[in-house]
Structure 1
Amino acid sequence: MNDGEQRSFGPLGKVLVIIPTYNEAENIQPIVKRVRASVPDAHVLIADDNSPDGTGKLADELAISDDHIHVMHRKGKEGLGAAYLAGFRYGLDEGYGVLVEMDADGSHQPEELPRLLTALKSADLVLGSRWIPGGRVVNWPTSRRLLSRGGSTYSRLMLSVPIRDVTGGYRAFRRETLEGIGMEEVASAGYCFQVDLAWRAVKAGFHVIEVPITFVERELGNSKMSRAIVGEALLRVTVWGVGSRADRILGRGK
């Protein structure tokens, strides 16, 4: 992580928690309720990819009853990265100072969000980490644990980023960080989207902090993870890593 000890950080500003959804009808109401209880001043943006199970309708009902809840209806399932990018643009346009990534399935515990926001007072980006001391996962089989930790390790080594959990998706960004990492150039949509953003933040010189979290496997609904998503991530990370090394050797980049 880049050294932030000599820097002064401004106030955080308004917080927007972005929750992408696709077929999360069983989860959306409980997770939003927990976010509103954990950080009452925060606003929530539900970015729904035209879920056929009615998630979007439930989101609209939540928004009608609470002016801190907003809904973005997207045309269809375009991937996690695309949903987050659309949410980021919404948040920046609406003047939010902090933009948070959070899964709808409860794997990212809203009760831990205050700790991420406290850490962000002296950072540009805070990552909720499963793989630093104090972090852990609950209800994962050994194979899933090895895949996730191995993916983070491979990405960290290939891209030379000092982050233990580079694939994790529970994150809090200052708006200046998102404005400074070239969001318009981000093309990754799946699992590697998180790697892409973290790598860009490190390359841009932003101060990144990891905070331990407890990741809890979803109890309701189906995971969106697939072999194709993992394969895309490995391929992209390999291409990025090889390209970055070539640039350094040829003097074309950092």
Structure 2
Amino acid sequence: MKLVIIPTYNEKSNIAELVQLVCSYVPDMHVLVVDDSSPDGTGELVEGLIAGEFESRLFLLQRSGKLGLGTAYIEGFKWALARDYEYIFEMDADFSHNPKYLPHFLDAITCCDVVLGSRYVQGGGVTNWSRLRRLISLGGSLYSRVILNMPFRDLTGGFKCFRRQVLEKIDLSAVKSNGYCFQIEMTYRAFLLGFAIREVPIVFEERAEGQSKMSSGIFNEALVMVPKLRAARNSLKS
């Protein structure tokens, strides 16, 4: 069974079309929306979709407030592990992650344990980014690669697929990062545990609706957390 986890906050204008596209590219995919009590009514819209054409394929975790990306994924992972999902995806709700890549991830996961959607391997890229945004993203990945001694070119992306056993082996309750660094930490933990990780090219498309969730606080978290992860290397292996 396959599940894609989509955290949302004020994504009412995107979520219905996104769910439709996900299910069209992978007809047996299930979708879990983790909504942080969006003021725009995203959660209510998802409830309506569940009551309609997506019954038994679409699910909703409604949280009490804006609690952060990392905790949304952790709750989603635990929800998936309590059920029979073998392949568990992460995906943004704003169309920056194109659902057309989902079949590519499923092809890749047959010969590895974690798939990273990568903007910085051959065939990957970004659209509609400023020079500063490119430098921040590239710099964040390079900074993490050097300090954590990992070979992967895109460590900050949030379009991923995990085999079930990876998430079972990682101590999800011990994951500390909640923002920009969450993606780095999850990949690092999987890497230290010896799981096979593969990058596949994606083109990241800057969101067409709403505002980017990138902030200075998210970036600063990565600056602080990456050295802490390196210092905790031995404990993260167990």
Aligned residue number for residue 173 of structure 1: 162
Equivalent residue for 1:122? 111
Aligned to 2:26: 39
Name the residue aligned to 2:51: 64
Superposition CA RMSD, Å: 1.6
1:1-254 alignment runs, 5 A limit? 14-65=1-52, 66=54, 67-244=56-233
Shift of 1:243: 4.9
Name the SS of the counterpart of 1:27 in structure 2: helix
Query: Per-residue displacement from partner, 1:34-55 (whole Å, max 9, x unpaired)?
Result: 1011111000001000001100
| Structure 2 unaligned residues grouped into runs of 5+ | none
Shift of 1:94: 1.3
Mapped to 2, the partners of 1:31 and 1:103 lie a distance apart of 10
Indicate conservation of the 8 Å contact 2:193/2:237, yes or no.
Answer: no
**Counterpart of 1:178 in structure 2: which amino acid?**
L
- TM-score of the aligned structures, taking structure 2 as reference length: 0.96
Name the larger-Rg structure.
1
**Cα separation, 2, equivalents of 1:97 and 1:58:** 28
Q: Give the 3 Å change call, closer, same or farther, for CA 104–253 of structure 1 in structure 2.
A: closer
Structure 1's unaligned 5+ residue stretches are 1-13
Distance 1:84 1:192 in 2: 13
Amino acid of the residue matched to residue 49 of structure 1? D
C-alpha distance in structure 2 between counterparts of 1:162 and 1:75, whole Å? 38
Distance in 1 of aligned mates of 2:195 and 2:229: 19
How far apart are residue 241 of structure 1 and its match? Answer: 2.6
**How big is each residue's C-alpha offset from its partner over 1:16-72, in whole Å with a ceiling of 9 and x where there is no partner?**
000000011111111111101111100000100000110001111111111211111
**Match of 1:121, SS?**
helix
Cα deviation, 1:104-131, whole Å, max 9, x if unaligned, reads 0000000111001110011100000001
Residue by residue over 1:151-194, the C-alpha shift from the partner in whole angstroms, topping out at 9 and shown as x without a partner, is: 00100110011111011100000000111122121121111000
Task: Decide whether aligned partners of structure 1 residues 137 and 253 sit closer, same or farther in structure 2, where only a CA change above 3 A counts.
Answer: closer
Q: Counterparts of 2:182 and 2:102 in 1: how far apart (Å)?
A: 21
Identity percentage of aligned residues: 49
Q: Which amino acid aligns with 2:31?
A: V
- How far 1:253 sits from its partner (Å)? 7.5
Task: Measure the CA separation in 2 of the matches of 1:75 and 1:128.
Answer: 30
Which is worse superposed, 106-115 or 179-188? 179-188
Instruction: After the TM superposition, list the runs of 4 or more consecutive aligned residues in structure 1 that deviate by more than 4 angstroms.
Output: none
TM-score normalised to structure 1 length: 0.90
Q: 1:143 to 1:68 in 2, by over 3 A?
A: same
- The residue that corresponds to 1:11 in the other structure is none
Q: Provide the aligned length of Structure 1 versus Structure 2.
A: 236
On the 8 A contact 2:7/2:69 being kept in 1, the answer is yes
